[in-house]
Amino acid sequence: MTTPEHSPLGKHTVYADRYDPSLLFPIPRQSKRDEIGVSEPLPFQGVDIWNAYELSWLDMHGKPMVGVAEFHVPAHSPNIVESKSFKLYLNGFAQEPLANVAALRALLQQDLTRAAGAVVTVTIRTPRAAEHVFADLTGESIDGLPVAIDHYGPPKAEYLKADTQAAAIAETLVSDLLRSNCPVTGQPDWGSVQIAYRGAPIDREGLLRYLVSFRTHNEFHEQCVERIFIDVMKRCAPQQLSVYARYTRRGGLDINPFRSTDKALPDNVRGARQ
């Protein structure tokens, strides 16, 4: 089964310490996309950027090695990989002897590509060679707007509107107030979101109310970002749109989905809370 309730989430788990690709649990994207009216061809391009900070294995002499890994899962892949299963899978390398980093990268790419259903790119760096650049998402914060809020879920797209009588503009808006919940465990997922667009000016107060309305909503990171993208497109009709969310890590993993009408991919720059 590939539905969230059949995943390892929220269940007692024995942590493996040897390589086991069967631990990866894929979940089809399409069922949630059906809810927001998304079908092929996809109305967006993008990627889910995963960063793994708890990756270790053994060299052929039994000495532990550690690394920081970056994974790019394309938005067009038919599946997401459930995050706890991903963590369990990565933990399985802890006592696994491997000839070199290239051998580890090959296994990771092979298994994750099989689980996601599309080619997943993998980069591994040693901790001291990894780039730990902290930077806020670029753009103008809307968090200081003096708005009264009394709705925290489900997401309310009716809050979104644009001034279609005004001239088109290009701007980038950001908020650090994004929060949603795991659909299986109910644990909160905290994040920051960047919305870059060109088109009729979007009402900022309405946008902030809309983003806060995810606060008690149960959905995976990737699904939240796609919902935001589709809702903004439907309600505000921008000519161009990109939505990028940076979530805080759990279990040594952070997930950072990006959806856009453009082909350009974002930088993987860590936010202050990551």
pLDDT digits (tens, 9 = 90+) for 47-99: 999 999 999 999 999 999 999 999 999 999 999 999 999 999 999 999 999 99
Mean pLDDT of the chain: 94
**Contact between residue 260 and residue 184 where contact means Cβ atoms under 8 Å apart:** no
Annotated catalytic residue: which of 182, 224, 231, 254?
A: 182
pLDDT digits (tens, 9 = 90+) for 211-241: 999 999 999 999 999 999 999 999 999 999 9
Cα–Cα distance between 196 and 134 in angstroms, integer?
A: 20
Which stretches does DSSP call E strand in the chain?
Answer: 26-28, 45-58, 64-74, 79-81, 121-125, 140-141, 169-181, 188-199, 240-247, 253-260
pLDDT of residue 14: 76
Q: Taking residues 183-204, what's their average pLDDT?
A: 96
Annotated binding residue at 151?
A: no
Q: Which alpha helices (H) appear in the chain, and where do they start and end?
A: 30-35, 83-91, 101-116, 204-212, 221-236
Q: Is residue 189 flagged as an active site residue?
A: yes
Annotated binding residue at 156?
A: no
pLDDT of residue 77: 98
Instruction: Report long-range pairs for 36-39 (Cβ below 8 Å, ≥24 apart).
Output: 36/226, 36/227, 36/230, 36/231, 37/230, 38/226, 38/230
Annotated catalytic residue: which of 48, 111, 176, 189?
A: 189
Give the burial class of 111: count Cβ atoms within 10 A of its Cβ; 0-12 exposed, 13-18 middle, 19 or more buried.
Answer: buried
- b/e string for 11-21 if b means 16 or more Cβ within 10 A? eeeeebeebee
Does the structure show a pLDDT above 80 at 1? no
pLDDT of residue 127: 86
Q: Taking residues 119-133, what's their average pLDDT?
A: 85
Does the structure show a pLDDT above 90 at 132? no
Annotated binding residue at 158?
A: no
79-to-3, 76, 183 alpha-carbon distances in Å: 11, 9, 16
**Contact between residue 221 and residue 189 where contact means Cβ atoms under 8 Å apart:** yes
Name residues whose C-beta falls within 8 Å of residue 27's C-beta, 6 or more positions apart in sequence.
2, 3, 4, 7, 79, 80, 81, 82, 220
What confidence tier does 190 reach under pLDDT thresholds 50, 70, 90? very high
Annotated binding residue at 83?
A: yes
Residue 74 identity (one-letter amino acid):
P
Give the burial class of 92: count Cβ atoms within 10 A of its Cβ; 0-12 exposed, 13-18 middle, 19 or more buried.
Answer: buried
pLDDT of residue 128: 83
Angle at 207 between CA 145 and CA 259, to 5 degrees: 130
pLDDT of residue 94: 96
2-to-6, 10, 16, 200 alpha-carbon distances in Å: 7, 15, 21, 40
Angle at 102 between CA 98 and CA 104, to 5 degrees: 45
pLDDT of residue 206: 98
